[in-house]
Amino acid sequence: MPLLRWEDELPEPCVLHPEEVDTHPWAEDDTLPAPLIARIDSWDDAQVAEHGPGAPSYQSDLSIPPGWRVGGFPSWASTGPMAVDCASCGTPTRLLLTAEGYEMDAGSLSWLPLEDRHAFPRGKAPTGAGRSVAQPTRLRFGRDRDLHVFTCPADPGHQPRWVLS
């Protein structure tokens, strides 16, 4: 039996360019106060009215970037928001790490790494040396979901929790 069954279980070697980015909570259900979500929805609608269907939006362009991140807020694009409590003590956990196969998405160029902007026309995923610039690690989690790792702030010795969303 092979050690790796699928090609996407082996990461593509790539270079890490860390940068500090502010993230903001996912705007759905009770992740933010309802009046604030209503204001965000109104802003999104105004952007579409002014700039058309490719206009910037809170969820895609301002709240949570795609890619690998330490800390910040989780995206809940596939599952919807959920509470992730410590399995040992029930304390609400904190996001430690997000691993995502893509560094950018076709719906937004706002998170596109500066070094790749020249090669990424809207709606196209360019390739370089046979691999997608949008997916430099070549890894996939679940069915192209984010892998979130949460830790217990009350006791770092408690088992981490992970969620595919």
Residue 8 CA to residue 141 CA, distance in Å, equals: 9
pLDDT band, residue 119 (cuts 50/70/90): low
Contact between 103 and 139 under an 8 Å Cβ cutoff? The reply is: no
pTM for this model (two decimals): 0.78
Higher per-residue pLDDT: 152 or 121: 152
Q: What is the pLDDT of residues 40-82, one digit of tens each?
A: 999 999 999 999 988 889 988 888 888 889 999 998 877 888 8
Residue by residue, what is the 3-state secondary structure of 3-38? CCCCHHHCCCCCCCCCCCCCCCCCCCCCCCCHHHHH
Which position has the higher pLDDT, 160 or 77?
160
